[in-house]
Amino acid sequence: MTASNNSSRPVVAVLGAGPAGLYAANKLVQEGADVLLINRDVKPGGLAEYGIYFDKHKMKNGLRKQFTRILDQENIEYMGHIEVREQDGTLTLDELEKLGCAAYLIAVGAQGTRKLGYQGEDEIEGIFHAKDLVYHYNQLPPFASQDFAVGQHVGIIGMGNVMVDIAHWLVWEKKVASVTVLARRGPAERAYTDKEMREVVNAVDFDALDKEVNRVAPILESIGQDVAAVKEELRKPLDKAETFDSPTKMFFRYLVSVKKLIPDENGRLKGVEVIHNQMVPRGDTYSPKPTEETEVIPLDTLVYAIGDQVDEGLGLPFEWGKYLTPSGNNPHDPEKPRYEVKEAQADQPRSGWFLGGWARVASDGLVGKARADGESAALEVMRWVKENNAQSPDLPTCKKKLCEMLSEKGHAFVEYADVVKLQDIEQARAKEQGVPLFKFNTNEEMFEAIRKA
């Protein structure tokens, strides 16, 4: 919000080049801004690159093409391998603000991890967060080269599409002996979609599933659910089931919550004690309510697939897993949420700072939803920029200043031309090896490949 800009296009800094940040950048350009797009990862795409299951080549290539069209625009400058964090990142938010951009849009996704608070959850071996495994099998550094010692009997807490993706990897790639889904509510409250479930449904032990639904049937009937209809719905993914060669058997345990983690003498998980739940009405839905009944389920691995939260270390006001926005309705449209970042000390907007995508609401929906939210955030940003006549230096000046800051810190970053080179190199490697996709596993290898190109 300073100095002059000969081109008269205000520069907006967008933090995060996942779907929300990329589509926001596109919208900002359409609305008359230039964009400095700053991203933690070397490559753009966020979870579209490093979250969506790796064999969805058609979808991922389609998204990559759209992102390329966005990034090819001269009104956007992409700068990758720059992590903005308060303590241990490349830059802090205050340093970023020194660039003097007209406004700042935070679209860094939900990089924080939700814990469940069980004794030993950080120490006992064999306990993983789904996001880390997802980043590992999608080859995001540094997760790509980390060893995740998954055992043979894997429990997954949560019953959403991330659970299905993890099960997909465990069944198809790891070929573990068993996968047991631990759901705190009943089968009708499953959050996964039938389309995704087709990938693994052939691993489901339907005799065991029937028995499990029969076990909880009295509770389902007590809240008016039709048990026969639920059983039928659970079989629907079989209509278009994928086939695979794997010994894995998949089980569902409904209305159970983990109460205690049980390690063996070497500190590795050997089981979980679960408590059986009932269901009690809450608004339009039902909540789990613990009973007195418990049971031990032998498992050597446990994965939390319960959704994520935002990164507390970014430097924004944070509470209950979320960045804070000012209280009250959106002043321009009460039907819309608030996109402004809240001031640290007062219940008012931090002037010129906005949130979008999973950074605004963590683990919320598909790429299309992140896109819509990024675009809405961009419109809010531009309304504010215009109403406040917010100015900035021009894009080359903002970029130069950022480059100077980074070189003062001795920090290596990539520009869009480097990303294009990297994509070409990786595509050539894939062709050479006759595989649909090749990715480098470390940032060092990526930098080396770019340097040699």
Ligand X SMILES: NC(=O)c1ccc[n+]([C@@H]2O[C@H](COP(=O)([O-])OP(=O)(O)OC[C@H]3O[C@@H](n4cnc5c(N)ncnc54)[C@H](OP(=O)(O)O)[C@@H]3O)[C@@H](O)[C@H]2O)c1
Q: Which is nearer to ligand FAD, 4 or 146 (CB)?
A: 146
Contact in structure between 261 and 302 (CB atoms under 8 Å): yes
Half-sphere exposure of 437 (CA within 13 A, CB side): 17
Q: Which helix (H) or strand (E) holds 446?
A: helix 443-452
Q: Which is nearer to ligand X, 116 or 344 (CB)?
A: 116
365 in contact with ligand X (CB under 6 A)? yes
Distance CA 285, CA 34 (A): 45
What residues contact 346, with CB distance under 8 A and at least 6 apart? none
Q: Backbone phi, then psi, for 200, in 5-degree steps?
A: -125, -5
111 in contact with ligand FAD (CB under 6 A)? yes
Q: Which residue in the set 184, 360, 371, 421 belongs to the binding site for ligand X (CB under 6 A)?
A: 184
Indicate which of ligand X, ligand FAD, none lies near residue 84 (CB less than 5 to 8 Å, by partner kind).
ligand FAD
Rounded (10°) angle between helices 130-137 and 161-169: 50
Bridge partners, residue 394, by sequence: none
Q: What is the pattern of x (binds ligand FAD, CB under 6 A) and - over residues 369-408?
A: xx--------------------------------------
62 in contact with ligand FAD (CB under 6 A)? no
Indicate which of ligand X, ligand FAD, none lies near residue 133 (CB less than 5 to 8 Å, by partner kind).
none
Q: Name the one range near ligand FAD by CB under 6 A: 14-22, 119-127, 379-387, 421-429.
A: 14-22
Rounded (10°) angle between helices 19-30 and 367-387: 40
Dig out the tokens for 1 from the structure: 């919000």
Q: Which residue in the set 13, 35, 84, 183 belongs to the binding site for ligand FAD (CB under 6 A)?
A: 84
112 in contact with ligand FAD (CB under 6 A)? no
Q: Which residue in the set 263, 307, 317, 321 belongs to the binding site for ligand X (CB under 6 A)?
A: 307
Straight-line distance from the first to the last Cα atom of the chain, in angstroms, rounded to the nearest whole number: 38
Distance CA 397, CA 349 (A): 27
Minimum Å gap between C-beta 134 and ligand FAD is 4
Minimum Å gap between C-beta 144 and ligand X is 19
In the window 155-214, what residues touch ligand FAD (CB under 6 A)?
A: 162, 165
Distance CA 412, CA 288 (A): 49
112 in contact with ligand X (CB under 6 A)? no
Residue least distant from ligand FAD (Cβ): 18
370 in contact with ligand X (CB under 6 A)? no
Name residue, tokens 């209305």: 255
162 in contact with ligand X (CB under 6 A)? yes
In the window 292-351, what residues touch ligand FAD (CB under 6 A)?
A: 314
Half-sphere exposure of 66 (CA within 13 A, CB side): 20
Binding site for ligand X (CB under 6 A): 116, 157-163, 165, 184-185, 189, 191, 196, 305-307, 363, 365-366
